[in-house]
Amino acid sequence: MNEVQARQAIVDAGTVLYKQGYVVSNDGNISVRISPDTIVVTPTGVSKGDMNPDMMVVMNLDGNVISKGLRGPSSEVKMHLRVYRENPDVTAVVHAHPIYATSFAIAGVPLDKPILSEAMLQVGVVPVAHYAKPGTTDVPDSIAPFVKDYAAVMLSNHGVLTWGSDLEQALARMEVVENYAKVTLVVNQIGSERGLSQDQVDGLAGIRQNMGLSPIVMPKGNAEVINGTDVIPQGN
């Protein structure tokens, strides 16, 4: 993706985040890597639902601003830069505050139940990083351990960070993480669940492999093999 395309793609992704209610006020930030050492990122202090391509900031991975855009990058860009430095395969990073996943981040509860096949295909386990004071280098340090082996991380008492091989994937992962959190909450409320077995989890990991996707940490399967037939009443 070149710079012009990246600027427009970020505007479009911001509209999705805003319409989904994943950001309020000036929450969130989005970036795209356009060369090994250069990214385009949202400026500080703007609603992600009301951006235009000219606002974007261009900077290098050392944090030096190449083109200032509207008013310079968010202080949260440090997280983005760290993701790109830790994992060269990443070309897009999305940060937002979706209500359900952020609530799990506040509870300190990772999304790690083997209950939702689509979530396991797209994001696997979503861990919770330790709390870090906004704007400090502790924020990038808190997420760094997860960038290679996971698809997303929840930030304690803050929000969610996702990344991907392109912006479409990073954005999809944000939506899947939020859906995983919602479904987990509802399953907890129902008070009963039929999780997938380890064999079934391995099968989903195999699908990822066949799709040419890099391995991610998957939820542990339930010890008991459950295939659904065991709950159908046997005939008369």
Residue 229 has φ and ψ, to the nearest 5°, of -70, -20
Q: CB nearer to Zn ion: give 24 or 217.
A: 24
Check residue 159 for interaction with Zn ion (CB under 5 A): yes
Q: Which span sits near Zn ion by CB under 5 A: 9-17, 146-154, 157-165, 170-178?
A: 157-165
Pair 147, 86: CB distance under 8 Å:
yes
DSSP state letters, 180-227? HHHHHHHHHHHT---PPBHHHHHHHHHHHHHTTPPP-PPPPPBSS---
> Which residue number places its CB atom closest to Zn ion?
159
Q: CB nearer to Zn ion: give 114 or 159.
A: 159
Check residue 73 for interaction with Zn ion (CB under 5 A): no
What track of x and - describes contact with Zn ion for positions 114 through 143 (by CB under 5 A)? ------------------------------
Q: CB nearer to Zn ion: give 135 or 206.
A: 135
Q: CB nearer to Zn ion: give 181 or 218.
A: 181
The 10 Å CB-count burial string (b at 16+, else e) for 204-216 is bbeebeeeeeeeb
Q: Which span sits near Zn ion by CB under 5 A: 51-59, 118-126, 159-167, 214-222?
A: 159-167
Check residue 221 for interaction with Zn ion (CB under 5 A): no
Give the DSSP H or E segment for 172.
Answer: helix 167-190
Q: Give every strand in the sheet of 57-60, ordered side by side.
A: 65-67, 57-60, 38-41, 29-35, 92-96, 159-164, 152-155, 128-129
Kindly determine how many residues on this chain lie close enough to bind Zn ion according to the rule CB under 5 A.
1
Q: CB nearer to Zn ion: give 4 or 99.
A: 99
Q: Which span sits near Zn ion by CB under 5 A: 37-45, 139-147, 154-162, 214-222?
A: 154-162
Pair 65, 73: CB distance under 8 Å:
yes
Q: CB nearer to Zn ion: give 25 or 35.
A: 25
CB of 109 to Zn ion, least distance (A): 19
The alpha carbon of residue 98 and the mean position of all alpha carbons in its chain are separated, in whole angstroms, by: 11
Residue 19, both tokens: 């319409």
Check residue 14 for interaction with Zn ion (CB under 5 A): no
Helix (H, G, I), strand (E, B) or coil at 43: strand
Q: Which span sits near Zn ion by CB under 5 A: 12-20, 38-46, 50-58, 152-160?
A: 152-160
Q: Which residues bind Zn ion (CB under 5 A)?
A: 159
